[in-house]
């Protein structure tokens, strides 16, 4: 019997009931279907999560890649990370400016440096050195997805991010997450997204990606916590809901997507909605924003 594969992607847990998300729903279904075909053909979880996140970054429909929103100083500082199991290899960039796909830079950090995270100017120098595509005209590139979404007063930690987790037919797990961070963030603010354990995690048990008020995800080690809970006997879904429960008890909101090594998936959230799509181990594709 062939080994199972499964995948979940998210386009952020900042969805508002006052808006419709038809374009995002159609796009996520298309991306998930393509990802299913890649996994079915034997592609690695690492390649697939990376391709999915590049597709989400390039769409301009989410608050990542060209859909990024600026910080309070008017600069576009982007965060991303990628991780793969069972070895827990990880790469990340924080406050990266001037490059089209932060997730590709995070992957290059993982694969081509002895480090886990590069930040700011050093990350940009590394991206240039790796030949990653620079943004020629920032004003034209960024479509400001978040700006049109609703009112996002600075300091409210309103948010949007993209991420993907996958199990491949070789039994490997991978997770990737990319964001412009919360709306109205201070210059230099770094959230959970580039921090392994907080916003992204993959090991031999699970792959998890978070979206929400990153400060809470950092304080709860939200994504790694899901793995620790699974290792101690909880189901993936129980573990993700319990981690989110800790965030909620602290006053935070957001969502988590996860897959375990059996191909079980979960995608709980405690905000109004979370843009997301999934591929079950039976190969079925689903997509939703507000339904639990
Ligand atoms: N977690 C991200 C951050 O705090 C934002 C988001 O997920 O929308 O930077």
165 phi and psi angles, rounded to 5 deg: -130, 145
Give the Å distance between the CA of 279 and the centre of ligand 1.
23
Can you tell me which atom of ligand 1 is nearest the CA of 177? 7
Q: Which of 195, 208, 214 to mutate to test the pocket of ligand 1 (most atoms within 8 A of CB)?
A: 214
**Enzyme catalytic residues:** 161
Kindly list the strands in the beta sheet with 285-288, ordered across the sheet, starting from the edge strand earlier in the chain: 117-119, 89-96, 78-84, 173-179, 161-167, 6-10, 276-279, 285-288
Give the per-residue pLDDT at 1: 54
Give the per-residue pLDDT at 145: 58
Ligand 1 contact, 192 CB (< 6 A): yes
82 phi and psi angles, rounded to 5 deg: -145, 145
Ligand 1 contact, 11 CB (< 6 A): no
Can you tell me which atom of ligand 1 is nearest the CA of 14? 8
Nearest residue CA, atom 9 of ligand 1?
Answer: 181
151-181 confidence digits (pLDDT tens): 455 455 556 799 999 999 999 999 999 999 9
End-to-end CA distance of the chain: 32
Give the Å distance between the CA of 182 and the centre of ligand 1.
5
Which of 236, 231, 233, 255 lies closest to 244, judged by CA? 255
79-114 confidence digits (pLDDT tens): 999 999 999 999 999 999 999 999 999 999 999 999
Q: Which of 162, 188, 213 to mutate to test the pocket of ligand 1 (most atoms within 8 A of CB)?
A: 213
Give the Å distance between the CA of 179 and the centre of ligand 1.
6
Give the per-residue pLDDT at 24: 94
Give the per-residue pLDDT at 158: 57
pTM of the predicted model as reported, rounded to 2 decimal places: 0.95
Residues of the chain with pLDDT under 50: 148, 150-151, 154
User: DSSP class of residue 196?
Assistant: B
Ligand 1 contact, 214 CB (< 6 A): yes
Give the Å distance between the CA of 162 and the centre of ligand 1.
9
Domain locations along the chain: 6-288
- Name the architecture of domain 6-288: 4-Layer Sandwich (3.60)
Please enumerate in sequence order all residues whose Cβ is within 8 A of that of 108, keeping only pairs 6 or more positions apart, or say none: 91, 126, 127, 130, 132
């Amino acid at each position: 019997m062939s080994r199972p594969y499964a995948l979940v992607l998210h386009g952020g847990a900042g969805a508002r009931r006052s808006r419709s998300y038809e374009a995002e729903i159609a796009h996520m279904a298309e991306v998930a279907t393509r990802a299913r075909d890649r996994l079915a053909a034997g592609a690695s979880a690492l390649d697939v999560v990376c391709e999915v996140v590049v597709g989400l970054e390039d769409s301009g429909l989410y608050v990542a890649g060209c859909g990024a929103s600026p910080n309070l100083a008017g600069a576009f500082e982007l965060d991303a990370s990628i991780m793969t199991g069972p070895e827990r290899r990880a790469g990340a960039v924080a406050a990266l400016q001037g490059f089209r796909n932060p997730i590709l830079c995070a992957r290059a950090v993982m694969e081509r440096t002895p480090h886990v995270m590069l930040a700011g100017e050093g990350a940009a120098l590394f991206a240039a050195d790796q030949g990653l595509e620079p943004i020629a005209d920032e004003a034209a590139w960024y479509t400001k997805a978040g700006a049109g979404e609703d009112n996002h007063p600075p300091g409210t930690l309103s948010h949007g991010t993209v991420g993907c987790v996958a199990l491949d037919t070789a039994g490997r797990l991978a997770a990737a997450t990319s964001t412009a961070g919360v709306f109205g963030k201070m210059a230099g603010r770094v959230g959970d997204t580039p921090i392994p354990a907080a916003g992204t995690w993959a090991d031999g048990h699970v792959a998890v990606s978070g979206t929400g008020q990153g400060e809470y995800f950092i304080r709860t080690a939200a994504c790694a916590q899901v793995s620790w809970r699974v290792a101690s006997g909880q189901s993936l879904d129980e573990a993700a809901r319990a981690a989110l429960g800790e965030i909620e008890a602290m006053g935070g909101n957001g969502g988590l997507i996860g897959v375990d090594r059996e191909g079980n998936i979960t995608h709980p959230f405690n905000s109004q909605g979370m843009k997301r799509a999934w591929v079950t181990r039976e190969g079925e594709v689903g997509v939703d924003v507000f339904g639990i």
